[in-house]
Amino acid sequence: MFDLTEPRPIELEGTTTSAPFAADAAADLAVLGALFKGGVRQLCFDPSGALLVLSGRGVRRLDPATLAETDRWLPTVHVRALHACGERLWVLADGAVYLAAFGDALGEPLARVPQLHHHRASAAGDRLALAVKDGAVVIDASTGESRAFKFDEAWFEALFSKSEPSLAMLSPSGRSVAVASCHIGYTVVWDVDSGAQRFAREHCDSTALLDDDRIIHADRGSASLRGVNDDAWSRLPANDHFVDVRRRGDRLLAADADGGFALFDVADFAAPLRELASIQSGYGRVSGTVCAALSDAHAATYSGMAGVLRITDLATGDTVEAADWSGGGEVLCLSRDARRASVFREWGDGRLECVDLDDGSLFEVTGGGEDITVSGITGDGQHALIARGSILRARKLHVVPFGGSEPTAEHTIKSCAHELINFADDSFAISTYTLSSAGFVGLYSAASPRALAKLKHAKDEPWRIAVGHDADEVIVAWKSATVLYDMSKKRPKAVDTWELRAQAVALGPAGHVAIAAAGELIVRTPAGGEQRLQLGAREGFGSLRLAFSRDGGLLFVGATDGVLEVRRAADGELLRELPLHAGGFTDVQRCGEGIATMGDDGVVLFVGVAAEGAA
């Protein structure tokens, strides 16, 4: 029923274990280890020919011959994009552009650009083109000057639409700049020096300004080449339109949305010079991530569908590839002893990666052609759990022994699965919902399909659930209220209720409760009573997550911008901020003495205090 592959090597940097620490040790907290490399947001080659990979919150430098990591750069800002500029690099952050060599301190921004569409910029020579709200900005590194190029807003007003630039493109000479708005399919080309508009066309979703006279765009689902001056066009030999295009000298590397890559001669597009090996797999929530980079000697290609990064030697055709470059993290679940983990990445035809953190072995459980909608692991780490089927029909849980080949049990839950977390021993808790919004939280054993207990709240739907460190308490964020339950007796009992809809909840040792709702943080501890604090505004769009340290002295808040806030639980005071992930958090939970986090970038990090004498 399941496609359970042989164990494959994974990248586990550092350690997953932390030394014990108290609330006054917040300054000593650090990232002790990392599991998986994370998804690739961008590729580019530096002046030396090394491959730079923008992944997570940092930049990795790889040897193009082996794809081995040779260096890593963690700037103080969240790097959104990188582009080469002579011996230095353009570094794009939120609202600011820097110019620095790899590994150097960034210093002051070269330019500040509000409403910067950082992910779709391009560079040529000393110039950088950025897409902004109403057009493009071109920055010249040699002079430090910036120049704006704006859309004709009257054109958009006539269509009752708004200008939403999606890509800024510089020609290789740097003399022409183009901006495409894929929202309605509109492309404009300007002369950079004079500011004159050279080309404007509707129904033109462009991806590259090939030179000062030719532009590549999508035309009815395939790639076309169009003349900037005469508007003549010809269809390119591609089954799908290009989503990423990179030019180097007379060669052009094009990537299509299906993970196919081809090398062209820019003077003759009759046929590709070389079809590079495609990187394809089943579709999931992160399947659209495709990017490429081109140097004089190598072509680098990446597809998020498979999490595979590949580099090709252009002279010999030899290729080297590396796996585990997957993003789109969905669910992290740890056993109660924190020695086994399950990581769920994709939705459609997804996969559950089961990792033994002691020996580094990994097994994958797939949906067998069906979607996986939710997954988890039992408290003792002996069984993996998945719900298969569409999001409206995932009403059966399959129980798979850790490292086994077939499910040993199938539980029918009669409602749609929403969230799975571990409970004591071989048990787990699952929240469910129905189309009428009613749902329940059920406690189950892996060995029996009969529920150990069920929690309901009127005809409400459970949103988030958390279990106390000793499994004596459960808190449920229902759609209309948040309820704390005592699980120490045979029959669960509601002991407290907050009339609010929580974004995130967490429990620690007995008496430790944390609730985040509408920008407010509610913290209850035996020592400090109940505190209500205002959470600071964050620019990110990720999810909020909460977790207590083992002794309950610290509360960890995974903010929406990927920064982990470390707070004293007794009074909520912010002690420290740790920037960890690109994007938001998908999970923050206790991992032994430390904390484990997973972000939208697909990286799992272990935070704690290094043991005395550890390297």
Q: Decide if pLDDT at 372 tops 90.
A: no
CATH says 240-325 is which class? Answer: mainly beta
Give the model's pLDDT for residue 89: 95
pLDDT (average), residues 570-592: 93
Give the model's pLDDT for residue 285: 39
Among residues 464, 415, 461, the alpha carbon closest in space to that of 438 is found at: 461
Confidence of residue 498 (pLDDT cuts 50, 70, 90): very high
Q: What gap in Å lies between CA 462 and CA 471, rounded to an integer? A: 19
Amino acid letter for position 109: P
Give, in degrees to the nearest 5, the angle at Cα 272 between 267 and 276. 135
List, for residues 584-601, the tens digit of each pLDDT value.
899 999 999 999 999 988
pLDDT (average), residues 77-86: 90
Q: 113-236 and 240-325 share one CATH topology?
A: no
Asked if 98 contacts 137 with a C-beta cutoff of 8 angstroms, the reply is no
Asked if 387 contacts 374 with a C-beta cutoff of 8 angstroms, the reply is yes
Q: Decide if pLDDT at 613 tops 80.
A: no
Q: Looking at 269-278, 292-301, 343-352, which range is the least confident one?
A: 343-352
Give the model's pLDDT for residue 158: 58
List, for residues 390-436, the tens digit of each pLDDT value.
666 667 888 999 987 678 888 888 788 889 999 989 999 999 888 77
Q: Decide if pLDDT at 2 tops 50.
A: no
pLDDT (average), residues 475-497: 95
Q: Answer yes or no: pTM beyond 0.75.
A: yes
What is the fold of 40-109? Thrombin, subunit H (2.40.10)
Give the model's pLDDT for residue 308: 85
Which residues 6+ apart lie within 8 Å of 304 measured at CB? 39, 40, 286, 287, 288, 289, 290, 326, 327, 328
CATH of domain 113-236: 2.130.10.10
Q: Decide if pLDDT at 537 tops 60.
A: yes
List, for residues 47-66, the tens digit of each pLDDT value.
899 999 999 888 999 999 99
Tokens in use for 567? 């707070």
Domain boundaries, the chain: 12-35+327-608, 40-109, 113-236, 240-325
Confidence of residue 244 (pLDDT cuts 50, 70, 90): confident
The SS3 assignment for 23 reads helix
How distant, in Å, are the alpha carbons of 453, 555, 573, 574, 587 from that of 523?
A: 27, 9, 11, 13, 19
Q: CB burial class (10 A; 0-12, 13-18, 19+) of residue 76?
A: exposed
Three-class HEC string of 93-158: ECCEEEEECCCCCCCCCCEECCCCEEEEEEEECCEEEEEECCEEEEEECCCCCEEEEECCHHHHHH
Give the model's pLDDT for residue 393: 66
Q: Looking at 188-202, 222-236, 493-507, which range is the least confident one?
A: 222-236
pLDDT (average), residues 31-56: 92
Q: Which residue has the higher pLDDT, 347 or 108?
A: 108
Q: What gap in Å lies between CA 305 and CA 260, rounded to an integer? A: 11
List, for residues 155-203, the tens digit of each pLDDT value.
666 555 566 777 899 999 999 999 887 666 778 899 999 999 998 887 7
First vs last C-alpha separation in the chain: 44
Q: Decide if pLDDT at 220 tops 70.
A: no
| DSSP element (H, E) containing 210 | none
Q: Decide if pLDDT at 287 tops 60.
A: no
Three-class HEC string of 150-180: ECCHHHHHHCCCCCCCCEEEECCCCCEEEEE
Give the model's pLDDT for residue 9: 65
Name the architecture of domain 12-35+327-608.
Answer: 7 Propeller (2.130)
Asked if 595 contacts 547 with a C-beta cutoff of 8 angstroms, the reply is yes
How distant, in Å, are the alpha carbons of 94, 497, 518, 521, 569 from that of 535?
A: 21, 21, 9, 6, 14
Give the model's pLDDT for residue 255: 84
Which residues 6+ apart lie within 8 Å of 448 measured at CB? none
Q: What percent of the chain has pLDDT over 70?
A: 89
